[in-house]
Amino acid sequence: MVMRKDSYSEPQVRLLQEMFPGVCSIEVHHCLSIAEGDVARAAQLVLHRQEAGQSLKTNVTVLQPMAQRQKAVVNDQELKSRIIARYSYVDKDDDIREHRPVGPKSEPKKLVRYRDNKIVSLKGERFTEVKKEEDEDMKKTYVSIKPARQYRFH
């Protein structure tokens, strides 16, 4: 990446870097270019970008020698205990509380049975016998097979 030298004076850049020692020079030049050379506006912009987490960071590992870059080796058990200590959460109130769910409500069995908007049964039977009402003319056509009592022989 080739950077061209902006027309901003070196004292402006040095002043902003003194005010914000943790900010890299690229960030200072960027904020000065947005603020059009105004140091006060550039300082406000640097603060705003730092608060918003948008500021450019220098790669510190490149500047450090190899001996300092190597981290101390941590065993798995210690690493696990550190992670648990930092990020774990135990809800103690939830451990104390005891959940007792309410049983499902069951309705009493429906014992009344209807057919054609009339009550057919009060015992709750599933099946009922349907009796057809017949006309008087149909009743006259039936023949009784039983012999009459008067013709019975003793």
| Total count of domains within the chain | 1
- List, in sequence order, the alpha helices (H) in the chain: 10-19, 25-34, 39-52, 60-63, 66-69, 76-87, 92-96, 136-140
CB atoms under 10 Å from CB of 142, counted, come to 8
What values do phi and psi take at 6, rounded to 5?
A: -75, 170
Is the whole-model pTM more than 0.85?
A: no
| Cα(81)–Cα(85) distance, integer angstroms | 6
73-101 pLDDT tens trace = 778 888 888 888 888 877 777 778 887 88
Domain that holds residue 18: 12-54
Decide: 123 and 109 in contact? Cβ < 8 Å: no
Of 25, 26, 31, which is closest to residue 49 (Cα–Cα)?
31
Let me know if residue 80 belongs to a domain: no
pLDDT of residue 3: 47
Q: How many other CB atoms are there within 10 angstroms of residue 44's CB atom?
A: 13
**Is 21 contained in some domain?**
yes
Higher pLDDT, 49 or 73: 49
